[in-house]
Amino acid sequence: MSAGARAPRDPSQDHSSVPTWAAGPPSPPADDDGAAYVLVGVGPDAEPVLREWRAGLAPGTPVRLLRAADGGEAAGLLAAALTDARVGVRVRVAGPVGACLALRAAALAAGLEDDELYVAPAGAGPVEVACVHCGAVVTAGAAAGDAAAGDVLAGAMVGCPGCGYGLLVERHVSRRTGRFLGVRAAAVAPVAGPAVPGTAAAGAAP
């Protein structure tokens, strides 16, 4: 994401709810002891990851492959797939950071635990930021690793399309929605549009 104005460092952001896999460091190897697997890929960069995962599973292992163009579509497919999932199912998802956050939210809502979900960010795509004041949502482009604390996204400024104020993107992600949280920055006047190039309105947060 191209960053514009950046607010001074806020010590309150030293504690982060951003998943470790979204913050840049390589993930540990995925487990292979599941009774069944749901493999989800978002976008073209996820395809080689899906192929590697599929090839690495033992012959005869029940596998369901889901492919989608964006995180919203993928989250719907995953939620439907998990309605009749068997005990011991493992979910692996690959795609842009924003899509992976949405998929994690869908998996947790379906009853999965964090240790039953493996995530491999791949490629660039939109990340959603929810305004905690008016509920509007703004999207910003980000590549794998851009959600890292102190990196491109956290601490950046975006313009809220709802209340019009500049928002400081915090190092906190909603487990329920998969969105970063944006709070009104002190002494920032309302702006006519997004303060960061590449951002766009995405509607209101539910």
| Cα dist from 10 to 61, 103, 140, whole Å | 48, 29, 21
Q: pLDDT-derived band of residue 195, with 50, 70 and 90 as boundaries?
A: very low
Q: pLDDT-derived band of residue 101, with 50, 70 and 90 as boundaries?
A: very high
> Does residue 25 carry a pLDDT above 50?
yes
Per CATH, the architecture of 21-121 is what? 3-Layer(aba) Sandwich (3.40)
Mean pLDDT of all residues in 43-57:
95
Helix ranges (H only) for the chain are 47-56, 71-81, 97-109
In angstroms, how far is CA 185 from the centroid of its own chain? Answer: 23
Work out the percent of the chain whose per-residue pLDDT is above 70.
72
Q: How confident is the model over 62-99, as pLDDT tens digits?
A: 999 999 999 999 999 999 999 988 889 999 999 999 99
Sheet of 157-159, strand order: 157-159, 166-173, 180-184, 125-131, 136-142, 200-204
pLDDT higher at 40 or 126: 40
Going by C-alpha positions, the residue among 104, 97, 108 that lies closest to residue 118 is 104
Q: pLDDT-derived band of residue 4, with 50, 70 and 90 as boundaries?
A: very low
Going by C-alpha positions, the residue among 27, 57, 2 that lies closest to residue 121 is 27
- Residue 31 token pair: 């487990």
Its pTM stands at 0.77
Q: 10 Å Cβ neighbour count for 107?
A: 23
Helix ranges (H only) for 110-186 are none
**pLDDT, mean over the chain:** 79
Domain residue extents for the chain: 21-121, 124-201
Q: Give the SS3 label for residue 99.
A: helix
Q: pLDDT-derived band of residue 139, with 50, 70 and 90 as boundaries?
A: confident
Which amino acid would we find at residue 157?
M
Which amino acid would we find at residue 37?
Y
